[in-house]
Structure 1
Amino acid sequence: MLSQAILEKLLAFSDEEIDALNGKVNIDRSIYLDDEETIDARKILDEGALIGVRKHTRFMSYPAHKHNYIELMYVYSGTMTTTIDDHDIHLKTGQLLLVNQAIKHSIAPSGENDIIFNFIIKQEMLSFLSSVMGSEYKLNDFIFHSLYSSENI
């Protein structure tokens, strides 16, 4: 369980959330995008970082977009709805969704108590993990088979 101080910090409104509450209905796509629809890891991660985490901005919809990284969305509290290929995916507290890069998806607005964390994982991180873990580890096989194969294991 999180301490009260950390929980209060998570629930505090970011500048983007304050803008949304004041009537700004669209995100500033220039903050994130490298083209018309691709969110660029270089714009949201520190230089040289292979992985990062951000709290998802509440109260605004995120129009259809894709990433040049892998995203792991974790619902800490509340709910989240994302749409992939015209299929709504509803997540609730404790659930997560792994979205491969270049998968176009949109996200419905979330409410005040919907706390979602976005883990940003660059492809280089997977290469690094592979080299550290070595091929003899079953976890390594599972991760890479899950990411790069359509077969069930």
Structure 2
Amino acid sequence: MELSVLKQLESLTTIEKQQKNRQIFSDDIPPTAIDLQESKEFNVPVLNDYFFRNHAIYVSKHNRFAPYPMHTHQFFEMNYMLQGNANETVNGDRVHLSQGDLLLLDIGSEHSIDALGENDILINVLFRDRNISLDFLNQIQSQQSVLYDFMINHLRKEKTEKRYMVFRSGMHDIRTSLERIIEEYFRPRPFSDTIIQAELTVLIAELIRGNEPTIDDPSPAQKLAVKLLNDIHKHYRDLSLEDLANKYAYNKNYLGNLFSKEVGKTFSEALTQERLINARRLIQNTKKPISEICLEVGISNKSFFYHKYHDLFGNTPKDDRQHTNGYISPSHTNPPLTIL
């Protein structure tokens, strides 16, 4: 972090001076920033998109020295602990943030923030685009492999959706992108907007890559299903159910039924999906002929390939090649997942 920007953030704002003297919350939110109808419905203040005003994001320092009351918002929010510590209540849970931690708050999450001290710097990053949400991050991640798809769908079914997520300070790449955004926002220079947009794309990609879903206390059948999905992820080109039955010493029909029950799709469907996911990656990131890509991922029937590709992605291979989206086209495959 640039020293000049850090000094700027450490200096007291007018609101902070008031809160430091009175030790009570001073509301700096104008009435036009509150959605009155939704606030009445949810019985807490609901912040609207007032802050953006022709900007894709809004970045601010959270005012120190007084607790911030419970509220919710119509946009995706990140709370980044640039310095010090903070305690929040998010959807009824207590969340502690240490320096370098990042809290993602989904649209509609309710949270309050305990009073910050002199040395605590909490940065708020708000996103105007309502398509960005935790579901969006999970959706993009699930498109990387059938293994991710299974893990994320399992978490949705088995766990209460907290609608928030915490990344701890070990994620160096996430911190680097965030601090670059903060520097460019608070010390604008030529091309700052362009750099911020570029870093936002990198940040979203890093968040997706850094969110590895796991299953707590998995059953033996779930453990076996994850092993099978890992095999599909690594050997999709020429793998068969018979190969896996021999590898794990199970009857082929029994293994196929177990797979279908745990994963929610047949082995053949999962294998085809994995092949299509990798075909899409090659289509978006290489100039190889599509007919060559079909064979490379293990699909010899071209009509079958085109039909299943459109069913899965909603686009033709040609459309995806022409309109490649940098958000969802990583240039390498994800590593295998493990259960903790």
Tell me, in whole angstroms, the C-alpha distance in 2 between the residues paired with 1:100 and 1:84.
10
User: Using a 3 Å threshold, how does the CA distance of structure 1 residues 29 and 16 change in structure 2: closer, same or farther?
Assistant: closer
Partner residue of 2:19? 20
Structure 1 residue 33 corresponds to structure 2 residue 34: yes
Give TM-score scaled by structure 1 length: 0.76
User: Using a 3 Å threshold, how does the CA distance of structure 1 residues 54 and 22 change in structure 2: closer, same or farther?
Assistant: same
Q: How far 1:139 sits from its partner (Å)? A: 9.2
Q: How far 1:78 sits from its partner (Å)? A: 0.3
Tell me, in whole angstroms, the C-alpha distance in 1 between the residues paired with 2:35 and 2:83.
30
Tell me which structure has the larger Cα radius of gyration.
2
Q: How far 1:101 sits from its partner (Å)? A: 1.3
Q: Which has the higher strand share?
A: 1
Partner residue of 1:115? 121
More relative contact order, 1 or 2 (CA 8 Å, 6+ apart): 1
Contact preservation (8 Å) 2:18, 2:26: no
Tell me, in whole angstroms, the C-alpha distance in 1 between the residues paired with 2:23 and 2:35.
22
Unaligned runs of 5+ in 2: 40-44, 144-148, 158-212, 215-340
User: Using a 3 Å threshold, how does the CA distance of structure 1 residues 115 and 64 change in structure 2: closer, same or farther?
Assistant: same
User: Using a 3 Å threshold, how does the CA distance of structure 1 residues 139 and 28 change in structure 2: closer, same or farther?
Assistant: closer
Alignment size in residue pairs: 139
Tell me, in whole angstroms, the C-alpha distance in 1 between the residues paired with 2:142 and 2:107.
15
Identity of aligned residues (%): 27
Tell me, in whole angstroms, the C-alpha distance in 2 between the residues paired with 1:6 and 1:49.
20
> Is the partner of 1:71 in helix, strand or coil?
strand
Contact preservation (8 Å) 1:83, 1:107: yes
CA shift digits 1:119-142 (9 cap, x unpaired):
001234639xx9xxxxxxx99712
- TM-align CA RMSD: 2.9
Q: Which has the higher helix share?
A: 2
Q: How far 1:86 sits from its partner (Å)? A: 2.9
Tell me, in whole angstroms, the C-alpha distance in 2 between the residues paired with 1:70 and 1:84.
14
Give TM-score scaled by structure 2 length: 0.37
Matched AA of 1:33: I
Partner residue of 1:62? 68
Matched AA of 2:55: A
Structure 1 residue 53 corresponds to structure 2 residue 59: yes
